[in-house]
Amino acid sequence: MAQVPGNAERQAKAAKATTGEVLPGDGSVNQHTPKEGSEIATPTQEQRARQAGISKRQQEKYDALARKSPALLNAVRAGEVSCHRADRLPSGHGSSRL
């Protein structure tokens, strides 16, 4: 019988899968915006969240972290800080100052 991953494992999977490649936040592009001759290459937040087994809101936090502070996202990936805590830190904090 396959073991169901716990919350920590799902969070780690989501953090590692978050690349910072997200749709622009200015509303100019969304999941309904057609690209010439193809589907949108970047999966939506909802799709990525479902794939990682986390909530859409949690995926939104990872995406925001990837945009505002890649160093903090790396600290989350390394397990040095939780996404919840990193989301509350000023973006200038790197993992060495946690």
Residue 14 lies in a domain: no
Residue 27 falls within a domain, yes or no?
no
Q: Give me the residue label for tokens 């899968």.
A: 17
Q: How many domains does one find in the chain?
A: 1
Confirm whether 75 is domain-assigned: yes
- With a threshold of 0.85, does the pTM exceed it? no
27: left (phi over 0), alpha (psi -120 to 50) or beta: left
User: Residue 30: inside a domain, yes or no?
Assistant: no
Domain carrying residue 82: 52-92
Instruction: Read off the pLDDT of residues 32-81 as tens digits, 9 standing for 90 and up.
Output: 666 654 455 667 888 889 999 999 999 999 988 988 889 999 999 898 99
Measured between alpha carbons, how far apart are the two ends of the chain, in Å?
A: 39
Residues shown for the chain: 98
Task: Tell me how far apart the alpha carbons of residues 2 and 81 are, in angstroms, rounded to a whole number.
Answer: 28
Instruction: List pLDDT tens digits, range 1-13.
Output: 556 568 888 888 8
Is residue 56 a part of any domain in this protein? yes
Is residue 81 assigned to a domain? yes
Domain annotation covers residue 44:
no
Using CB atoms within 10 Å of the CB of residue 7, give its burial: 0 to 12 exposed, 13 to 18 middle, 19+ buried: exposed
Burial call 29-67: b when 16+ CB within 10 Å, e when fewer:
eeeeeeeeeeeeeeebbeebbeebbbeeebbebbbbbbe
